[in-house]
Amino acid sequence: MKINILQGAFLPVPPIQGGAIESAWFALGKEFFKQGHEVTHISRLGEGLVKSEVIQGVTHLRVRGARAVKNPYLLKLLELPYVLRARKVMPPADILVTHAFWAPLFFPDQEFGRQYVHVGRYPKGQLRLYKKAARFQVPTHFIAKVCCKEVPKFSAKIKVLPYPLTWKTSDKPRFENREKIILYAGRVHPEKGVRELAEAWKMVPKEIADGWTLRVIGPWKEEQGGGGKNFRDQLEDLLVAGQNKAEIREPVFNRNELKKEMEKASLFIYPSIAEKGETFGLAVLEAMSCGCVPVVSDLPCFSDFINFGVEGFCLERLPGDNFSETIVETLIETLKMSDFKMQQLATASWKRAKQFEIEKVSVRYLEDFASMI
């Protein structure tokens, strides 16, 4: 098959500035080529990148994009010129994978490939406009339900296929060899619950938190999806003001370096409160593949790959509750757990993550592509 992949206008590929969607499709494109398919990957032209090159068999074409902004309406407008530029350089194909907002509207339904719309963000009414789409691919069953409610007449076009792991799983974890690190790796933004996490860590009794470090890593600049410098500074003030050891570090965009950070940590915490922002949680799955025990909020997307109590812990939010206090209670319970129980959870988490290895997941995508041609 000939497969086109069109990314959005704001992050480059390879994912040198992060981005779960960019990371996933960069990895999938290379795997599709390994399986014998012809792949063209179109993305934003970024600093240090060239307009055209071949990476592990995949042809990469890049066109001028834009810097991300907070205003969602302006964000959409900024992407339109990028999509039109991409159309000019795109070759004919059998399948066109895209998550760019305007592409399903401005691209023909056949010339560049059957439109395979990747719904990587919580849909906000746009799906009903995509009448030329042959498939709406969603990463979790929760997002599938949201899409079915939004476009019930297109329900037969909706398909659940998860993100793959973008690296090979680590060796079987040995919990006793891990550092006492509670790691958060993701966008440093209010919707990720990191302020509540910082407040909670201050309230964990010192005798329980003794020896442990809360480490926050991630992009904070607005153009990278973060909450901006003021939010980062406020978060750092909260972290250093407490009695328990905590630190905030600059983002790690190098995939190998990020994996090393996850392989050091014992726990991976992801207290996202973005009810209409999270569609999967790839960072959590990646941490599980490194042997971290996940502690996540109760957003429904996480239930596709975590059985709570078996492979990780849930920060259950109840109406009227203080979420920081919920995090405190869960952390106390978790940190008091025996090494034996932690090892059980880490092993179960690691085994579950192996089900999402790219060799396994990519086959499911290719089978779906073939069914549409």
Digit-coded pLDDT (tens) for 330-345 = 999 999 999 999 999 9
Topology given in CATH for the domain delimited by 2-164+357-372? Rossmann fold (3.40.50)
Which pLDDT score is estimated for 12? 96
* Residue 347 in this model has a pLDDT that exceeds 90: yes
**Reported confidence tier of residue 109, pLDDT bands at 50, 70, 90:** confident
CA dihedral 298, 360, 9, 254 (to 10 degrees): 80
Which pLDDT score is estimated for 286? 96
Strand residues in the chain grouped as ranges (E): 2-6, 38-44, 52-55, 58-63, 95-98, 114-118, 133-138, 158-160, 181-185, 213-217, 246-249, 267-270, 293-297, 313-315
Which pLDDT score is estimated for 323? 94
Q: What is the pLDDT of residues 237-263, one digit of tens each?
A: 999 888 999 999 999 999 999 999 999
Question: Distance of CA 1 to CAs 38, 277, 370, Å?
Answer: 6, 33, 8
Which pLDDT score is estimated for 143? 95
User: Among the CATH numbers 3.40.50.12280, 3.40.50.2000, 3.90.1150.10, 3.40.50.300, which is that of 175-354?
Assistant: 3.40.50.2000
Q: Find the range with the poorest average confidence among 81-90, 108-117, 138-147, 164-173.
A: 164-173
Tell me the pLDDT of the chain averaged across its residues. 95
How far is it, in rounded angstroms, from Cα 88 to Cα 42? 11
* Residue 318 in this model has a pLDDT that exceeds 80: no
Which pLDDT score is estimated for 5? 99
Question: What average pLDDT score do residues 308-335 get?
Answer: 92
Neighbours of 363 (CB within 10 A): 12
Which pLDDT score is estimated for 279? 82
* Residue 199 in this model has a pLDDT that exceeds 80: yes
Which pLDDT score is estimated for 31? 98
* Residue 105 in this model has a pLDDT that exceeds 90: yes
Query: What's at 345, amino acid-wise?
Result: L
Q: Find all residues with CB under 8 Å of 177, minimum gap 6, and list them.
A: none
**Reported confidence tier of residue 150, pLDDT bands at 50, 70, 90:** very high
Which pLDDT score is estimated for 170? 82
**Reported confidence tier of residue 172, pLDDT bands at 50, 70, 90:** confident
- This prediction's pTM: 0.91
Q: Which two tokens stand for residue 139?
A: 């990463």
Query: What's at 9, amino acid-wise?
Result: A
Which pLDDT score is estimated for 223? 85
Question: What average pLDDT score do residues 179-207 get?
Answer: 96
Which pLDDT score is estimated for 72? 85
**What does the domain layout of the chain look like in residue ranges?**
2-164+357-372, 175-354
Which pLDDT score is estimated for 276? 81
Which pLDDT score is estimated for 187? 94
**Reported confidence tier of residue 68, pLDDT bands at 50, 70, 90:** confident
H/E element holding 174? none
**Reported confidence tier of residue 69, pLDDT bands at 50, 70, 90:** confident
Which pLDDT score is estimated for 366? 99
Calculate what percentage of the chain has a pLDDT beyond 70: 100
Q: What is the largest CA-CA distance in the chain?
A: 64
Q: Find all residues with CB under 8 Å of 83, minimum gap 6, and list them.
A: 6, 9, 100, 101, 102, 103, 106
Question: Distance of CA 307 to CAs 182, 302, 304, 345, 361, Å?
Answer: 20, 9, 8, 10, 20
Among left, alpha and beta (phi > 0; psi -120 to 50; other), residue 170 is beta
Which pLDDT score is estimated for 359? 97
Which pLDDT score is estimated for 95? 98
2-164+357-372 and 175-354 share one fold: yes
Which pLDDT score is estimated for 176? 75
Question: Distance of CA 211 to CAs 196, 237, 246, 305, Å?
Answer: 21, 21, 11, 30
* Residue 295 in this model has a pLDDT that exceeds 80: yes
